[in-house]
Each structure stands twice: as C-alpha cells, then as structure tokens.
Amino acid sequence: MTTVLSDERKRIHPHKFVMWIAMGSIVMMFAGLTSAYLVRKAEANWLVFSLPPVFWFSTAVILISSLTMHLALKSFKARIMRRYRLFITLTAMLGALFAILQYTGFDYLYSHGVQVFGVGSNPSASFLGIIIGLHALHVIGGVIALFIIFLRAYSLRVKRYNVTSVEIISTYWHFVDILWIYLFIFLKWL
C-alpha cells in the first residue's frame, strides 16, 4: 500500500503535464521569433524606434500581478478563502490592465508614425507587432482562465478545495510574466 501511494505522489497531474508541454512549445515559438528578429535586424531598411514608455508601466503591472497570483495560490492552499478571493480578483484585474496597457503602447506607436502592419509598415515594426501581439494573446488566454477561477471563487455552489486548477493557472501566469520580461529586455536593448 505504501509503495502504491508513493508512486502515485510522484506522478504529475495530466493537466499539468499538458500545460508544461504547451509552455515548452511557446518557448520554442518565441525563441524562433526572436532569432528571426535578430537575423532580419542585420539587413537593410530596419527602422529604429523606441518602445513606448507605457511598456514600463505594463511591466510593473505584470510583475505585481505575479505577486498577487502567488499570494492567491498560497491563500487557497491555506484555505483562507477571503484572502484567496481578494488576490485572485486583483490578479485578474491586473492581467486585464496589462492587456489594456499593451494596446495603449501600440496606439502610442501608431500616433508617432510607426505603422505596425499593412501599407507603410516596416519589418521592425511588424516583428514587434507579431511578437508582442502573440504574447498578448497568451496573456488574454491567461486572463480568461483567471476570470474563470475568479467566478469559481465567488460561486456559492462549488465548495471543493482542489488546488490543481489554481496551481496550473498560477504556473501559467508566472510563465507569461517571465516571458514578457524576456521579450521586454530583448526588444528594449537588443
């Protein structure tokens, strides 16, 4: 009996396994995109421009949201539901704010003459649009997942303390945070 329990504890939950595979695929996609960015940057007609200042604020927002997600998970594990609800609400709101700030950054670029896609665009701006746009899609997916567990946190009929979904979303949210830090440093200084 003891051997069966210890073997079962060593196994990773299937949903966590799928999430890790997906995160590995996402890393490979962004590694390919940033490599292509570096190769294309060495060629002619590369437009040099600064990232919008609002991206600094969005970076701070996603870092704070990672902290609130950590506190939400910690509260859930301790079964302090009032604190969990507070922190998961803050995380969902900060995630949505991050997405809004990213949109504001692209609006800033457009108003300063940087056309990201379409007629009059430049490869450098298009790369920026693709890289940050794909990250934004992953963030929006994370925000949707956050809002789902946010709704579950306030549901009166669901009273299960299954930590797996909160752990999965927490891991994913920290992943998109780290991914943004990498992309921001890459785009800002390379």
Match 């490979």 to its residue by tokens.
Answer: 28
Domain at 68, CATH number: 1.20.120.80
**pTM flag (> 0.85):** yes
Q: Give me the pLDDT at residue 21, please.
A: 97
For residue 53, what is the DSSP state? T
Please answer whether residues 123 and 46 qualify as being in contact, where contact means their C-beta atoms are separated by less than 8 angstroms.
yes
Burial track 22-41 (b if 16+ CB lie within 10 A, e otherwise): ebeebeeebeebbeebeeee
Please answer whether residues 143 and 92 qualify as being in contact, where contact means their C-beta atoms are separated by less than 8 angstroms.
yes
pLDDT digits (tens, 9 = 90+) for 62-104: 999 999 999 999 999 999 999 999 999 999 999 999 999 999 9
pLDDT digits (tens, 9 = 90+) for 20-42: 999 999 999 999 999 999 999 99
Structure tokens that stand for 134 in this block:
């794909």
What's the structural domain count of the chain? 1
What is the span of the domain harbouring residue 25? 2-189
Q: Give me the pLDDT at residue 9, please.
A: 66
Reference 62, options 176, 169, 182, 183; nearest CA is: 176
